[in-house]
Amino acid sequence: MKASNSMRVWFGFFGALIWVGMYLTGFSNIHWLLYVPAAGMVFAAVTGICPSQIAVFKILGSK
């Protein structure tokens, strides 16, 4: 399942916003778990595949 171009732009913008927030806070001050959604958003923007969206669809059984 590939994301549309508008979804990919949204993933990229939101991922970049998280990374800017992490930079402004200081990478040494944030918890390591915050890297997971930030990296996932950038991955989804680049590839068009969103792992969290696929996981939610599998859990809920919808398509």
Whose tokens are 């996932």? That residue is 40
On whether the CB atoms of residues 44 and 8 are closer than 8 A, the answer is yes
Domain ranges of the chain: 5-60
Decide which of 16 and 4 is more confident.
16
As a whole number of angstroms, the distance between CA 23 and CA 25 comes to 5
Question: Tens of pLDDT along 10-52?
Answer: 999 999 999 999 999 999 999 999 999 999 999 999 998 988 8
- Estimate to the nearest angstrom the gap between the alpha carbon of 55 and the chain centroid: 13
User: 44 and 50 in contact (C-beta within 8 Å)?
Assistant: yes
Measure the CA–CA gap between 32 and 3, rounded to whole angstroms: 27
Whole-model pTM: value is 0.79
In the block, which residue shows the tokens 């959604």?
A: 37
